[in-house]
Copies of this chain bind each other. A is one copy, B any other.
Amino acid sequence: MPGCLKTGYLGPTGTWAEEALLANTGCVADETVSFASIHDVIGAVANSEIEEGIVPMENAIEGSVSATLDMLTFEVENVRIVREIVHPIRHRLIARTDIPLNQIERIISHPHAHAQCRKFVRERLPQAQVVAANSTAEAVRIVSQSEERWGAIGSSLAAENYGCVIIADDIEDYPDNRTRFVILSKSPAPQDLDAPYKTSIVCGIAHDQPGSLLQILQEFAHRYVNLTKIESRPSKQGLGDYVFFIDMEGKKDDPRIAAALKCLECKLNWVKMLGSYPVG
């Protein structure tokens, strides 16, 4: 990374995005700036307010982050993925003081965090009311200023930043919980690093071309390009109309990938390059 002055993340301080940024790059807290939403982070990269931004792309339990995918697909041009960071997510149950689990009356967090800890909450905190917050860090901030019997699901960093106490560790329902973050920039990633690369695209398939996905996959299979992810999202044009996100192993200029993408561009309504970048 070219220094990391002005790297943006979804705030407030203490989110998983901030933790991933500080743990995986040369950044220190002074060089980062928090934003209120994923939309704001990506928008700030697009209008050159910040050089780079980190946003969550996909979690191992809860799946893709639709705000990130939709923003990159429909709302910005010339913003590229330049690096992937895969960061472990160990959710903590956090409160103002060290109270027993059965006294928690209300449990606050981002809906994705709630979804990752659903069984834990159901089994260990059946009495607690589940309440949504805009981010895990926001949840911890609320709890730090609330009544004693409120709990939040968040990171150790958030517990520390807001002067709270961890009352249960590693409360996610499945082991190996990780989130794939991406760093975004207007300058595409250098293509000459000695590292494994991934290339990500999104493409539109017309509603009335039911066999098109098969044809897309064949373009890659013929050329022995390995796909690591295929996911559909609404095109916003109506129920039943989708765009497809495809991640593949390799650089965009690899002859096999370049040829496959060229064929896709001939066949489909549109193909958008999201980036070709070193894997996490």
CB contact list, A107-123 vs B, under 8 A: 110-111, 115, 118, 122
A180 to B241, CA, bound (A): 13
Contacts of A228 in B (CB 8 A): 210, 240
Are the CB atoms of B239 and A86 closer together than 8 Å? yes
Q: Does A102 contact B (CB under 8 A)?
A: no
Q: Does A47 contact B (CB under 8 A)?
A: no
Contacts of A67 in B (CB 8 A): 115
Are the CB atoms of A240 and B229 closer together than 8 Å? yes
A174 to B232, CA, bound (A): 18
Least Cβ–Cβ distance between A218 and chain B, in angstroms:
7
Query: Which among A8-16, A126-134, A268-276 touches the partner chain?
Result: A126-134
Query: Given B134, B210, B218, which contacts A227 in the complex, CB threshold below 8 Å?
Result: B210
A130 to B237, CA, bound (A): 26
Known: A61-B236, A174-B236, A236-B61. A230 touches B210 (CB 8 A): no
Contacts of A111 in B (CB 8 A): 111, 132
Are the CB atoms of B60 and A234 closer together than 8 Å? yes
A173 to B71, CA, bound (A): 14
Contacts of A242 in B (CB 8 A): 229
A59 to B66, CA, bound (A): 12
Q: Does A214 contact B (CB under 8 A)?
A: yes
Q: Which of A110, A115, A130, A230 counts the most B-chain CB atoms under 10 A from its CB?
A: A230
Q: Does A99 contact B (CB under 8 A)?
A: no
Q: Does A238 contact B (CB under 8 A)?
A: yes
Least Cβ–Cβ distance between A43 and chain B, in angstroms:
10
Q: Does A264 contact B (CB under 8 A)?
A: no
A213 to B130, CA, bound (A): 37
A119: nearest residue on chain B (CB-CB)? B75
Q: Which residues of A contact B (CB under 8 A)?
A: 37, 39, 58-63, 66-67, 70, 86, 110-111, 115, 118, 122, 130-134, 173-174, 176, 178, 180, 210-211, 213-214, 217-218, 221, 226-234, 236-240, 242
